[in-house]
Amino acid sequence: DDDDDDDDDNSNTTAVVATDSDIEESSSNNSRIKQVNVSELYLFPIKSCAAQRASKWPLVLSSGGKLKHDREFAIVDTSGTALRLQKCPKLGLVSPVIDLDAGTMTVSAPGCKDLVVRLSDDLYHGGENVVRVCGNTCAGRVWGDAVVSEWFASFLGIRCWLARCCSGDETLTSTSTSTAPEKGEHAAVVAGGSVLAARTTPFRPGFSNEQPILLVSENAVAALNEVLVDQQQPPCSAKRFRANIVIKDNSNNNNNNNNN
């Protein structure tokens, strides 16, 4: 699952991020430069579902530097609402894994047979929809056939569909609807719970809440855990923050090496 990028979108994918690699980070006035190390790397193919850990993964620079296929899919219910982990905890048990070479996403869940979803456009069976995530609109398409929707509905216990985000260059004009999206129809999908009318507007290259990529520092998590322990609370891991990149500040080590 950690193989190099496929030939598709090579013009847009011009960088690869890998664990155990170093990044130079500079302050706003460039007066201080420190080196950090990428210790963990995660992508979330389906929004609000489990993470896929990788040792290296391509970045799509034309989409703001997001990881390829990160939060590219979402699960929507019959009201046109994108399901969120807070209201549907079982999403956290759904584990999608992207295979770049095979062009597939394999989805697993406890007690279910693995579902293999092709990433090529020949599996596009739905109409164009507008997905709203934290107040921002995204162009989305119902993805997959009845087998795909039935798999998610059976495990989650609600009627739902798999939606895929369109490219960042697409714009849609649509009207709101309270029914499930059908081929040729438009629906406004709202992460917050209400169905809103859509406007003609540029769309985001993925179903991320705000930024195309999320980062957390091991050092910050360690500092937080010190506070939690002092308050007799259980510590947490960096994975708890659902970040794409986990970094570690190596400046102290570098300073020691320089002193030596």
pLDDT tens digit sequence for 140-154: 788 888 899 999 999
Q: Distances in Å between the alpha carbon of 57 and those of 4, 5, 43, 50, 52?
A: 7, 8, 9, 17, 11
Confidence category of residue 213, pLDDT binned at 50, 70, 90: confident
Classify residue 107: in a domain, yes or no.
Answer: yes
62 has a pLDDT exceeding 60: yes
Q: Which residues in the chain belong to E strands, given as ranges?
A: 13-18, 22-26, 33-43, 52-53, 56-60, 66-67, 73-77, 95-99, 104-108, 115-118, 124-133, 136-143, 160-165, 188-190, 215-217, 245-249
Classify residue 168: in a domain, yes or no.
Answer: yes
β-partners of residue 188 are 130
List, for residues 118-167, the tens digit of each pLDDT value.
Answer: 998 655 555 555 554 555 566 678 888 889 999 999 999 999 989 888 75
User: Which comes out higher in pLDDT, residue 107 or 34?
Assistant: 107
Classify residue 173: in a domain, yes or no.
Answer: yes
Classify residue 5: in a domain, yes or no.
Answer: no
List, for residues 238-248, the tens digit of each pLDDT value.
Answer: 888 888 999 88
Please choose, from the candidates 212, 164, 171, the residue with its C-alpha nearest in 3D space to the C-alpha of residue 60. Answer: 212
How many domains is the chain built from? 1
Least confident of 29-33, 100-104, 215-219: 29-33
Classify residue 8: in a domain, yes or no.
Answer: no
Supply the pLDDT for residue 32: 54
pTM of the model: 0.69
CA dihedral over 80, 83, 87, 93, signed as positive or negative: positive
Find the domain containing 112 and state its range: 13-219+229-259
